[in-house]
Amino acid sequence: MRLKIINGPNLHNIGKREPHIYGNISFNDYSNSLKTIFTDIDLSFVNSNSESEIVSILHDSDNLFDGIVLNAGAYSHTSVAIRDAVSAISVPVVMLHISNVYARESFRNNNLIASVCRGVITGFGIKSYKIAIQSFID
Ligand code: DQA
């Protein structure tokens, strides 16, 4: 199985960024540990701070992967373009948030992308990525 993990804006520096919310493990270290856990899955990771780039990554991933794990960061709350890209492709997308967006500011309750995703995982810290990957197994 081939899975692509897409991280959106400001997620390149988790581990440093607001550690009380996002934890203190760098994504690089965490992604290496995911590779040792899911040895049977071909995992690839990409990070982008750009909305248009995320749209292109989604389209370019169509038919090449069995699933996509998407943390669109702040674009989750604003981006019709990313929502339309998720809708347009046939690869199933599982959305995730590290933090529990429903326990934070009210603007984070609005998610434009969630309803076109296979499912949403939110609030389990960095472990949310592991749960999202597990959701594609079976
Ligand atoms: C986030 C939650 C978003 O509201 C925020 O803008 C992020 C990270 C999360 O993983 O908890 O950048 O997607």
| pLDDT tens digits, one per residue of 42-97 | 999 999 999 999 999 999 999 999 999 999 999 999 999 999 999 999 999 999 99
Check if 59 is active-site: no
Euclidean distance between CA atoms 69 and 39, whole angstroms: 17
| Cα gap 93→36, rounded to integer Å | 23
Nearest protein Cα to ligand 1, atom 12: 73
Question: Would strands 67-71 and 119-122 be described as parallel, antiparallel, or unpaired?
Answer: unpaired
pLDDT at residue number 138:
75
Does the annotation count 97 as an active-site position? yes
Per domain, the residue ranges of the chain are 2-137
SS3 88: helix
Question: What is the fold of 2-137?
Answer: Rossmann fold (3.40.50)
CA-based nearest residue to 95, from 58, 41, 64: 58
- Return mean pLDDT, the chain: 97
